[in-house]
C-alpha cells in the first residue's frame, strides 16, 4: 500500500519562508494534498495538486511536485505566527482513499 513520509519538525522565524517536504511511494497517486491542523481542531484543507502538474501557487502557498522522485513540498512565504500548526500531506491513490503522512510540526518564532 501507499506510504507517505514527512519530517517531524520545522522551526522558522517570522517573515521567513517555510518549506515542508513529503515523499510518497505509490506512483499512481492522482492527487496530493496539504492539510493544516491547529491545536484542538480538525484538519483544514490548504491546497492540492494534480499529479500531472509540477507547481501550484495559491497566495502565500506554493506546492511543488516532482513526480519522478515522488516528492512533494509546501512552501509558505512570509511565515506568520498563525502558521504554527501541524501540516499533513496526503496522497490519493486507488479506491479514492487518502493516505496521510505523520505530520510536520511547524513552530514560528517571533
Partner 1 sequence: SAVISQKPSRDICQRGTSLTIQCQVDSQVTMMFWYRQQPGQSLTLIATANQGSEATYESGFVIDKFPISRPNLTFSTLTVSNMSPEDSSIYLCSVEDLSAVDGAFFGQGTRLTVV
Q: Which residues bind partner 1 (CB under 8 A)?
A: 31, 33, 35, 40-45, 48, 50, 88, 90, 92, 96-98, 100-103
- Residue closer to partner 1, measured from CB, 17 or 30: 30
Supply the minimum distance, in Å, between the C-beta of residue 94 and partner 1.
13
Supply the minimum distance, in Å, between the C-beta of residue 100 and partner 1.
5
Beta strands, E only, 17-60: 18-24, 31-37, 43-50, 55-58
- Residue closer to partner 1, measured from CB, 82 or 96: 96
- Residue closer to partner 1, measured from CB, 83 or 103: 103
How far apart CA 59 and CA 81 sit, in angstroms, is 17
| Bridging pattern class, strands 43-50 and 98-100 | unpaired
How far apart CA 67 and CA 70 sit, in angstroms, is 5
Amino acid at each position: 500500500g501507499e506510504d507517505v513520509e514527512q519530517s517531524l519538525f520545522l522551526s522558522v522565524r517570522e517573515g521567513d519562508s517555510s518549506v515542508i517536504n513529503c515523499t510518497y511511494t505509490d506512483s499512481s497517486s492522482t492527487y496530493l494534498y496539504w492539510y493544516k491542523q491547529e491545536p484542538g481542531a480538525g484538519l483544514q484543507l490548504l491546497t492540492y495538486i494534480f499529479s500531472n502538474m509540477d507547481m501550484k501557487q495559491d497566495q502565500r502557498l506554493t506546492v511543488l511536485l516532482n513526480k519522478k522522485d515522488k516528492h512533494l513540498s509546501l512552501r509558505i512565504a512570509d511565515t506568520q505566527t498563525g502558521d504554527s500548526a501541524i501540516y499533513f500531506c496526503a496522497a490519493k491513490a486507488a479506491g479514492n482513499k487518502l493516505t496521510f503522512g505523520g505530520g510536520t510540526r511547524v513552530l514560528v518564532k517571533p
